[in-house]
DNA sequence: TATTGTTATACTCTATAACTATA
DNA sequence: TATAGTTATAGAGTATAACAATA
């Protein structure tokens, strides 16, 4: 098993692991994984529904429900777009921003702990390689931005 | 942003990307992501419900439903355990094994394509690093095993 | 006409709690 | 008593199709 398959297998397993870490961390903040991802995606600033569905790779109708549930909890708000009366911008409330940051930091902490055994040199190398993969495909804002504070 | 956070961010983004590739590929074979993962987890051989719930990190009751739906489509079968009449083993049917292999190969193909730009040396390095991370945590059979045929 | 966002509908997925049958 | 697995229930997440309002 020394063919290309090896990397693919590693990627799938890693993805599964990270997914679990993300979900566990979200849960500890009373958030589902999609809800936490929504908050993280909104951290850099408000976005419209269409653009947000592109960032999260969700159908707009699915996003409507997700935003509904999170808005009901007072974590985000729909604010009117002055230039286009059809559109709205989804914005974090203060509570939502705080919760999102805590969840974000929690995820980062757990992943940092998980990778604590890797030598610095290897960390940078792997990080760069993975960033390369995601940048290849994604354009514009991504689901998970670096922490604002740090 | 040159602290440890960088690797964590890369991991989350990569996970999101791989998740999407996996889901898209599954869908093209008329499978949901959890269903495809179930088939992949069963490829090496039959497993009981308790062990399977451990592999997939699902509550047993959630697994019951998942197995039900996949069994209804004739992709897996519950076979009695001779030594313990409470237990059963979940086994791929011939159809299920074929479909699982096609889906598995499809995922690998897409990921290989995604990583085609990486030089061989870097591929091996990253693969080894990621395997290390997943092996650190997981024990026993994993969700995604290398292809049987190759 | 095209675009923004929502509604209606139907599944799948998931967890918690309570249960049955066997060990 | 403990363990293997299921059932009951409730809610979240998702997509497809049809829709309303605005551009």
d(CA B100, CA B36): 7
Name the average pLDDT for chain B. 94
Question: Positive or negative, the Cα torsion across A71, A75, A80, A84?
Answer: negative
pTM of the entire structure? 0.94
d(CA B126, CA A82): 47
Distance B135 CA to D17 C1' (A): 45
Condensed to tens digits (0 to 9), the pLDDT of residues A49-95 reads: 999 999 999 999 999 999 999 999 999 999 999 999 999 999 999 99
Chain B: closest CA distance from residue A34 (Å): 11
Instruction: Determine if strand D comes within 7 Å of the CB of A58.
Output: yes
Q: Mean of the pLDDT values across residues A14-32? A: 97
Residue A48's beta-bridge partner residues?
Answer: A89
d(CA B149, CA B98): 12
- In degrees, to the nearest 5, what angle opens at C-alpha B117 toward C-alphas B111 and B118? 90
Nearest Cβ partner of B8 from A9, A112, A137?
Answer: A112
Q: Mean of the pLDDT values across residues B55-81? A: 98
Nucleotide nearest A83 (Cα, C1'): D23
pLDDT for B140 equals: 84
Per the CB < 8 A criterion, the answer to whether B73 and B65 are in contact is no
What are the respective helix, strand and coil percentages of chain A, to the nearest 5? 65, 10, 30
The DSSP result for A22-82, as a single string, is HHHHHHHTT--HHHHHHHHHHTT--EEHHHHHHHHT--HHHHHHHHHHHHHTTSEEEEE-S
pLDDT for A5 equals: 84
Condensed to tens digits (0 to 9), the pLDDT of residues B2-22 reads: 455 899 999 999 999 999 999
pLDDT above 90: residue A4: no
Per the CB < 8 A criterion, the answer to whether B125 and A119 are in contact is no
Nearest Cβ partner of A14 from B108, B112, B134?
Answer: B134
Interface of A with B in 72-91 (CB under 8 A): none
pLDDT for A61 equals: 98
d(CA A40, CA A98): 11
Chain B: closest CA distance from residue A129 (Å): 8
Q: Mean of the pLDDT values across residues A28-48? A: 97
Which has the closest alpha carbon to B58: B41, B46, B45? B41
pLDDT for B150 equals: 46
- In degrees, to the nearest 5, what angle opens at C-alpha A3 toward C-alphas B11 and A11? 15
């Amino acid at each position: 098993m020394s063919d290309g398959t090896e990397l693919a297998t590693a990627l799938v397993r890693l993805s599964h692991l990270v997914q679990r870490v993300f979900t566990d961390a979200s849960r500890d903040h009373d958030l589902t994984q999609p809800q936490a991802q929504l908050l993280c995606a909104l951290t850099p600033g408000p976005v419209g529904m269409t653009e947000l569905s592109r960032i999260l790779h969700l159908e707009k109708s699915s996003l409507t429900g997700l935003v509904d549930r999170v808005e009901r909890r007072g974590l985000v708000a729909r604010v009117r777009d002055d230039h286009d009366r059809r559109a709205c911008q989804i914005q974090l409330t203060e509570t939502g921003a705080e919760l999102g940051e805590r969840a974000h930091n929690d995820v980062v902490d757990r992943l940092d702990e998980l990778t604590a055994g890797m030598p610095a040199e290897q960390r940078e190398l792997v990080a760069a390689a993975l960033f390369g993969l995601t940048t290849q495909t994604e354009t514009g804002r991504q689901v998970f931005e670096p922490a604002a504070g740090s």
